[in-house]
Structure 1
């Protein structure tokens, strides 16, 4: 890590978190040297990451929190993580939505970010099981003159179902609604993605609903920041061979990119500098 004196707090904490996960733990004095910041700054960053529940502070440093495969963070907890990465991913993924097409958006904080960018794509039909995603489109429609929908505003279908901690609707009602539909593109957020487990989630009912989404889509676009790679939830719902494109962020390691390239036909590294690593913001490789 070099030239980090002017990093924003969010970027600095992302680097710290990556270092903790990669090495299994770090000491405060190591981070002050690597980041060229004060001991107090590092300790504040560790406090912030500990409050988010992604690290555990120990004497003189920090270690990663090892989550059970059944642990399912709530929407608010997840929404505070990897904000810049999610925005980069959302911007790149939105370019894949064709005006007038039928798309599906699963639940999650990354698809929530994506929904805001999809407001600019005209005449979409959007099916979602995310209460938060549906609210994004609903709020935009209310901004039309005299309460009328804006020209080109999306038609939104919200599935029924049982609400999860991440504000997704899952279960038999949602599954039945999705079963009879067909989508041009599914934009899918995931809890975890790996070569061995494929796409996974800690919620058994959500796994089945996501499985229905995958089966109903002509093309599956996974939107997931770099921290999701290598994470495995309780239940797998799709193999990597069922994914058309993974849209992730520049925090993904070179080794992970090579591994993904062996198993996925498409990889978009959003926010990567053009020519820096063979990808740029939103280009599929």
Structure 2
């Protein structure tokens, strides 16, 4: 197969499947992993696909391009602070908690009142906030491949570390919740958050009401499998009624 034909085929596969790994493409096209990586890098260079660790995914709709964590800090800031403080009320002395990436979770850690706590996170911004706390928390940073746009560490190393731990409570954010689907912009980020939730005795989602009834690229968890959704007091009554079918609403 000529290179031009191979690139066209790869692009068709990515656009159809939304996400594909290097191994899957190598097997489908009967070429080496190295050849596929070069092809993916070329397609990414010309803005045909989004290159991610281990494979590629379809380009997002320009209107839904993922914002960086610094940009997200400026959006719905009042609502995020309200939700963050409410989440703090569900943390108790001597808890061991997993905190995923997200600006609302940064605010949660910044507003903690408990004195004795173990915090495990794969988010560099969350780690920095916890490190600067006047409380001397037992703080564990999960390593891995760094995703600059969200400030999160992901991938096999992060996942294997998290899988050896257990937590009293796990807190994760979302880019959107649509019915029972909890979604995020990046597959690997979702995989790591899933492991954090799976190893938590109590699983809690922290999301202001702008995230409800919206979805993003990757579904990483089912709302029916979590213990609660922490959101704003001013949530629309119809939305509250709808989502309370699937989990407990804290508002």
TM-score by length of 1: 0.64
Residues 215-258 of structure 1, C-alpha deviations (whole Å, 9 max, x = no match): 11111111100110112111111101111111101342111001
Q: Deviations over 1:71-126 (max 9, x none)?
A: 321011110011111111111110110100100100000000001112x2121010
Partner in structure 1 of residue 226 of structure 2:
243
Q: Which residue among 81, 95, 100 is the counterpart of 2:94?
A: 100
Tell me the distance in 2 between the aligned counterparts of 1:162 and 1:114: 24
Q: CA deviation at 1:261?
A: 1.3
Of stretches 74-83 and 159-168 in structure 1, the one that deviates more from structure 2 is: 159-168
What is residue 77 of structure 1 aligned with on the other side? 71
8 Å CA contact 1:69–1:233 kept in 2: the answer is no
Question: What are the ranges of 5 or more consecutive residues in structure 1 without an aligned counterpart?
Answer: 1-65, 142-149, 270-285
Secondary structure (helix, strand or coil) at the match of 1:96 reads coil
SS of the residue aligned with 2:182? strand
Q: Deviations over 1:8-33 (max 9, x none)?
A: xxxxxxxxxxxxxxxxxxxxxxxxxx
Structure 2: gaps (5+ residues): 1-59
In the TM superposition, residue 69 of structure 1 has moved relative to its aligned partner by: 9.4
Q: Does 1:202 align with 2:195?
A: no
**Which residue in the other structure is 2:245 paired with?**
262
Aligned to 2:177: 193
Task: Quote the RMSD (CA, aligned, Å).
Answer: 1.7
Of the candidates 211, 216, 232, which is equivalent to residue 228 of structure 1? 211
Residue in structure 1 matching 2:122, options 115, 126, 129: 129
Alpha-carbon separation, structure 2, partners of 1:160 and 1:124:
20
The alpha carbon displacement at 1:135 in A equals 0.5
